[in-house]
Amino acid sequence: MDTVALDSLLLDAHSRNDHANLVYYYTLAADERERAGDTDAACFYLTHAFVFALEAGAPEADALNARLVGYGRAHSLDF
């Protein structure tokens, strides 16, 4: 997905306070930045996805935390 389309989807999800889609789109953005080799940007998006997953009580929080731990950007948390 191109960056402009993804940014639009993120803004729309923010405007609707749609945590499920915020987790999904931020994770998607992180995946794309990982594939591009941009670790800092990937971790930026992973952190956002993780925060929204925590707020929503989403099951993705565990996997997102693990990815951030793998990059040395977070401590492992128990869920």
Give, as one character, the DSSP assignment of residue 27. H
Q: Is 79 domain-assigned?
A: no
Q: Is 22 domain-assigned?
A: yes
Q: Is 7 domain-assigned?
A: yes
Question: For the stretch 37-57, what's the b/e string if a residue is b when 16 or more beta carbons lie within 10 angstroms of its beta carbon?
Answer: eeeeebbbbbbbbbbbbbeee
pTM: 0.94
Tell me the residue range of the domain where 26 lies.
3-70
Give, as one character, the DSSP assignment of residue 50. H
Q: Is 76 domain-assigned?
A: no
Q: Is 75 domain-assigned?
A: no
Asked whether residue 49 carries a pLDDT value surpassing 90, the answer given is: yes
Amino acid, res. 36? A
Q: Is 77 domain-assigned?
A: no
Residue 33's pLDDT band (cuts 50, 70, 90): very high
**Tokens of residue 17, six digits:** 């306070």
Residue 1's pLDDT band (cuts 50, 70, 90): confident
Total domains in the fold of the chain: 1
Res 79: pLDDT: 78
